[in-house]
Amino acid sequence: MGMMLGLIKPTSGAVFINGQNIENEKNRTNILEKMNFISPYIELPKKLTVEENLKVYGRMYGVNNLQ
């Protein structure tokens, strides 16, 4: 997942999602805007609504607006 999100650089080869290489900044931004990931190891704050949680974690990955 770290490589798919662009957080870890591959030691060899390349990562493509929907035919787009994630090492290209424009491609990575485009991919991350359409991708969701919530780690099972991070507990979501219980007092936030689903929408608030999506906004918080979306901002962590550069997603500014919910669709």
Question: Burial, 22: exposed, middle or buried (Cβ in 10 Å; 0-12, 13-18, 19+)?
Answer: buried
- Give residue 8's identity as a one-letter amino acid code: I
- Mean pLDDT on 4-18: 85
pLDDT band at 67 (very low <50, low <70, confident <90, very high): low
pTM flag (> 0.75): no
pLDDT of residue 50: 82
Where are the domains positioned within the chain? 1-35, 38-67
pLDDT digits (tens, 9 = 90+) for 22-66: 888 888 888 888 877 666 766 666 788 888 878 887 887 777 766
